[in-house]
Structure 1
Amino acid sequence: MLKALIFDMDGVLVDSMPFHAAAWKKAFLDMGMEIQDKDVYAIEGSNPKNGLPLLIQKARKEPEAYDFETITSIYRKEFKRIFELKAFDGMKECLEVLKTRFLLSVVSGSDHLIVHDIIDQLFPGIFDIVVTGDDIKNPKPHPDPFIKAVELLNVQPKECIVIENAILGVEAAKKAEIYCIGVPTYLEPSQLDRADLVVGDHRQLIQHLLSIEPDHGSKA
C-alpha cells in the first residue's frame, strides 16, 4: 500500500537550479576557475562537501588547493542575491490534493536554511518531514537521505514513491529500494533511465501524481 511521496526540491518543486548554477559559477570565477551549467546539473543532489571536489575537478584544478568554506560562502551570498522564488506551475495545488491522501516529505541536498526558507514560503504546512543536506552524513547518490526520510515517516521503502529530477537523486532512490519517478527538468530523459518511470515534463508529472490512489501503490 502506498503511504508516502518523497520529493526532491530543486528542479522538482522549485525552478531553482539555474540560480544555483549561476551562483556556483560566480563563486568559481572569483576563485579563478570556470565551470558550466551542465557541470552543476550533473552533481545536483549532492551537498557542497561532496559536490565541490567534483566541480573543482571539472575546472581542471586540484580540490586540495581550495578552501571549500570560502567558495561556499561566495555561492550562498550570490544565490541569496539573485534567487527568484518560483514554484513550478500547478505544483502547490497538486501538493494540497496529495496531502489529503499521503504523507509528504522533501529530501534535498541543499542547505538547511535555504530549504526550510523556501518550503516555509511556498508550501507552508504541506510537508510532514524535511531532510536537508545538513541532516545526513552521506548525501545522494548514497541512499542515506531517503532512508532517513523513510524512518522519520515511519513507513517502509515499498510504501513510498520518490520524485526526482537529478541523476544522483535517482541513483540514491534506487539504492534505497524505493520506486522512483524521474522528471527531466534540466536533463535529457535518457539521463534518468534508472528511474522506474520517466515523465516528459511537470505537467505530465502532476497528472500522474494526481491519478495515484493510496491503495494503488503497487501499480504506481
Structure 2
Amino acid sequence: MIGALLFDFDGVISDSIEIHFRGWQEVLPPLGIEPDNLVLRSHEGEPAWRIAQEMCAAAGRPIDEKEAHRLAGLKNSWFRGQPRPELYPGVSEILDYAGRVGIRTAVVTGTNRQNLHHVLGEMSTRFDALFCDGDYARPKPHPDPYLAAVAHFGLPPEACTVVENAPMGIRAARSAGLFCIALQTTLPAAHLQEADLILPDHTALLRWLEESAPEIA
C-alpha cells in the first residue's frame, strides 16, 4: 500500500513554469543572455540559483554561485509580484482521495518557501509536510529532498510514491529508491524515460491511484 505521496511543486502542483520563464526573461537579457525554455524545463526541480547557472552556461556565459544567487533573488522577487499561478486541474481531487484513504502527502521542491506560500496560500495546509530549498543538504537530482520526506513520515521507501515532471526530480526520486510517476505537464515522454511510470496528466494519476495504488507495496 502507498503510505505517502511526495509531489514536486512547479509543474506538478502549480502551473507556474511559464511564469518562472517570463521572470528569467526579465532578469537575463539585460546581461546579454537569452533564457532557454528547454533548459528551464529540463532543470526544473533544482533551486533557482542552479537554474541561473545552467541558463548562463547554455548561453556561453558561465557565472559563479554568488552571481547565480543574485540573479535568482531578482527572478524570485519578480515572480512573487505576479498574480498567483493556477494549480493544475485535478490536484484538489487527488488530495481529497489521499485524505479519504489515509495516504500522507508532502510537497518536495527546489523552490524557496516564500515562492511556495505565494502560490499555495491557505492551500498549503492540505499537505502534511512541505520541503523547500534549505530544508535538506543537497538539492535535486541528489536524493536528499526525498530522503528527508521519507524520514519525516517514518515510512519505508517502498511505501512512498513520488510524482514528478522533470528529469532532475525523477533522478532524485530514483536515487532515493522510490517509485516515481512522471506527468507530461511540462515535457513530453521522451524526456521522462527514467521514471517508473509516465502518465499524461492529473486525471490519469487519480485514475491510477484509484485502480492500481492498492497493489503497490
TM-score, L = length of structure 2: 0.92
- The 1:161–1:65 alpha-carbon spacing in structure 2 relative to 1, beyond 3 Å, is closer
Hey, what does 2:215 align to over in structure 1?
216
Query: Residue 82 of structure 1: SS of its match in structure 2?
Result: coil
Contact 1:21 1:41 in 2 (8 A): no
Cα deviation, residue 97, structure 1: 1.9
- The 1:51–1:36 alpha-carbon spacing in structure 2 relative to 1, beyond 3 Å, is closer
Q: Which amino acid aligns with 2:184?
A: P
Hey, what does 2:58 align to over in structure 1?
58
Please list the CA deviations of residues 117-154 of structure 1 after superposition, one character each: whole Å capped at 9, or x if unmatched: 33333x24321111011212211100000000000111
Hey, what does 1:39 align to over in structure 2?
39
Distance 2:39 2:158 in 1: 32
Query: Residue 126 of structure 2: SS of its match in structure 1?
Result: coil
- The 1:154–1:66 alpha-carbon spacing in structure 2 relative to 1, beyond 3 Å, is closer
Q: Which amino acid aligns with 2:51?
A: G
Q: Which piece of structure 1 moves more, 51-60 or 162-171?
A: 51-60
2:120 aligned with 1:119: yes
- The 1:212–1:104 alpha-carbon spacing in structure 2 relative to 1, beyond 3 Å, is farther
Hey, what does 2:172 align to over in structure 1?
172
Contact 2:49 2:65 in 1 (8 A): no
Cα RMSD, aligned residues only: 1.8
Distance 1:68 1:88 in 2: 29
Hey, what does 2:130 align to over in structure 1?
130
Consecutive aligned runs of 4 or more in structure 1 exceeding 2 Å deviation: 48-52, 81-85, 116-121, 209-213, 215-218
Hey, what does 1:104 align to over in structure 2?
105
Contact 2:49 2:69 in 1 (8 A): no
Gap runs ≥5 in structure 2: none
Distance 2:80 2:120 in 1: 15
2:182 aligned with 1:188: no
Contact 1:9 1:107 in 2 (8 A): yes
Please list the CA deviations of residues 26-66 of structure 1 after superposition, one character each: whole Å capped at 9, or x if unmatched: 11113331112111111100013433221210121021397
Say how many residue pairs are matched: 216
Hey, what does 2:87 align to over in structure 1?
87
Contact 1:19 1:83 in 2 (8 A): no
TM-score, L = length of structure 1: 0.91
Contact 1:98 1:210 in 2 (8 A): no
Contact 1:99 1:126 in 2 (8 A): no
Distance 2:170 2:81 in 1: 30
Cα deviation, residue 160, structure 1: 0.6
2:13 aligned with 1:8: no
Q: Which piece of structure 1 moves more, 49-58 or 34-43?
A: 49-58
Distance 1:83 1:29 in 2: 22
Distance 1:51 1:189 in 2: 22
